[in-house]
Amino acid sequence: MEMKKENRSTESEDKARLAILELSHMMSVPMSLVAVIKMKVPEAIWEGGSNTPLTAPQILHRIRPQGGGDADNLQRILRMLTSYNIFAEHFSQTGERKYSLTHIGKTLVPDSQGLTYASFMLQHHQEELMRAWQLVGETVEDPTTEPFMKANGEGVLSYYNRREDARVLLGKSMRGMSIPFMRELLENYDGFHGVETVVDVGGNTGICLQMIMSKFPSVRNGINFDLPHSILSAPQIPGVTHVGGNAFDFVPEADAIFMKGG
Ligand SMILES: C[S@@+](CC[C@H](N)C(=O)[O-])C[C@H]1O[C@@H](n2cnc3c(N)ncnc32)[C@H](O)[C@@H]1O
C-alpha cells in the first residue's frame, strides 16, 4: 500500500534525524579516544614503527602483560574509533578483526623527540575542564561567574598555579602541537630577518621563540610573555627572558610581536 505523501519523510529529514543521533552520541568519540590514549593502545600497535594489524586480545596482551581486561569491550571501542579514521580495520582469512593506526592515529604516538598530540587531547579533556563544559550554557544565563569557577570552586588561573601536573600537561600539549607547526612555518616564512627583539605574547614555555631564534640569529633577545602561572614551569632558554603579565594590561616592547594560539 502506498504511504500518504504527507507521512513520508524527505531525504533531508532522514539525514537530519541521522545527524542529530550522531551528535547525541558525539561524547563517545572523545571519551573513547582519551581511554585508548590512557591505555597506550596507539603505542602498543605502533611498536617502534611496525604498525602491524593486531586483534583486540593481542593489543590487550601488550597493554596488560600481567593479564586481565576485556578484549570484547576494547574491540567495541576500536571499531567505533575506526569509523572516525583513528584506526584501520583489517579482516584476517579466519574473519578476525585486526587494527592498525591510520595517519591520524599515528599522531597519538610519541615521535623521536617525544612529541605527540595525545597530550593535547588529554589536556582538553581533564576532569576539571570537563566539569566546566557541563556549565557552558551558564555563560549565557548567568555570566557573572565563569563556568570553571562554578564547577571547581576556583578560577582557571588559580588551578594552574596550584597544580604542577596540570601545568606540565599544558606545556607538553603545547609542545606536541606547536613544534611540528613551527617547523613547517619557519621553512616557509622569512619575515624575522634583521629583527633583533621579538616578544611572543602567550608564549607558554617559550618553545616557539626558541625555534624562531635558532633559525634567525639576528633575533638576539626573545621575550616570552605569558600569565605569571604559565612561566612558572618555563625552562631556561639562552637569549630568552620570561616575563609574567596579562596582555590586556601591557605587552613588553619589542621590534616584532609574535602570537600563536592552540
Ligand atoms: C593555546 S596556548 C598557546 C601557547 C603558545 N603560543 C604555542 O602556540 O605553543 C595560549 C597561551 O596564552 C596564554 N595567555 C592566555 N591569556 C593571556 C593573557 N591575557 N596574557 C598573556 N598570556 C595569556 C596562556 O597562558 C597560554 O600559555
Strand ranges of the sheet holding 221-226, from the earlier edge strand across to the other edge: 240-244, 221-226, 197-201, 256-259
**247 CB less than 6 Å from ligand 1?**
yes
Mutating to test ligand 1, I would choose from 120, 123, 204, 229 the residue with most ligand atoms within 8 A of its C-beta, which is 204
Domain containing residue 234: CATH number: 3.40.50.150
**Residue that is last in its domain, among 106, 133, 159:** 106
Q: From the CA of 38, how far away is ligand 1's center (Å)?
A: 26
Q: What is the pLDDT of residues 121-164, one digit of tens each?
A: 999 999 999 999 999 999 999 999 999 999 999 999 899 889 99
Which range marks the domain in which residue 204 is found?
191-259
Give the three-state DSSP class for 241.
strand
Is residue 237 domain-resident? yes
- Determine what percent of the chain is predicted with pLDDT higher than 70: 97
Q: Which of 106, 132, 151 is the last residue of a domain?
A: 106
113-132 pLDDT, tens digit per residue, is 899 999 999 999 999 999 99
72 inside domain: yes
Helix (H, G, I), strand (E, B) or coil at 258: strand
Pocket test for ligand 1, best of 120, 227, 258 (most atoms within 8 A of CB): 227
* The three three-digit cell numbers of residue 247, written as one number: 596582555
What total of structural domains would you count in the chain? Answer: 2
Q: What pLDDT was estimated at residue 187?
A: 94
One-letter amino acid of 85: N
What gap in Å lies between CA 147 and CA 135, rounded to an integer? 6
ipTM, two decimals: 0.98
Supply angle C-alpha 230, 235, 237, rounded to 5.
120
Asked if the model's pLDDT at residue 247 lies above 60, the reply is yes
C-alpha cell at 175: 609542545
Show the DSSP H helices in 25-117 as ranges: 28-38, 41-46, 56-63, 71-82, 103-106
DSSP, residue by residue, 167-214: HHHHHHHHHHHHHHHHHHHHHH--TTTT--EEEEET-TTSHHHHHHHH
208 Cβ inside 6 Å of ligand 1: yes
For ligand 1, say whether the CB of 174 is within 6 Å of any of its atoms: yes
Which of the two residues, 48 and 42, has the higher pLDDT score? 42
Distance (angstroms) between ligand 1 centre and the Cα of 230 equals: 8
Atom 3 (ligand 1) nearest CA: 261
DSSP-derived secondary structure letter, 4 = P
The sign of the dihedral angle between the CA atoms of 66, 172, 215, 187 is positive
pLDDT at position 233: 78
- Average pLDDT over the chain reads 94
DSSP, collapsed to helix, strand or coil, labels residue 131 as helix
Last residue of a domain, one of 46, 79, 106: 106
Across residues 214-218, what is the average pLDDT? 96
Joined grid coordinates for residue 51: 604498525
Query: Is residue 224, in this structure, part of any structural domain at all?
Result: yes
With the CA atoms of 166, 172, 173 and 174 taken in that order, what torsion angle do they form, in degrees rounded to the nearest 10? 110
Phi-psi region of 51 (alpha: psi -120 to 50; beta: other; left: phi over 0): left
Tell me how far CA of residue 219 lies from CA of 175, 201, 237, in angstroms.
Answer: 21, 16, 13
User: Is 46 inside any structural domain?
Assistant: yes
Is the minimum distance from the CB of 204 to ligand 1 under 6 angstroms? yes
Can you tell me which atom of ligand 1 is nearest the CA of 160?
25
The answer as to whether 180 is a domain residue is no
> Hey, whose CA ends up nearest to atom 27 of ligand 1?
204
d(CA 216, ligand 1 centre) in Å: 23
Does 71 fall in a domain?
A: yes
Q: Is the pLDDT of residue 8 over 90?
A: no
Give me the CATH number covering residue 40. 1.10.10.10
pLDDT score at 3: 55
CA-nearest residue for atom 21, ligand 1, is 226
- Whether residue 171 is contained in a domain is answered as no
Share of the chain above pLDDT 90, in %: 86
Among 174, 181, 208, 249, the mutation site with the greatest number of ligand 1 atoms within 8 A of its Cβ is: 174
Please report whether residue 70 resides in a domain: yes
Q: How far is CA 83 from CA 88, 120, 124, 230, 233, in A?
A: 9, 21, 22, 37, 38
- pLDDT above 60 for 240: yes
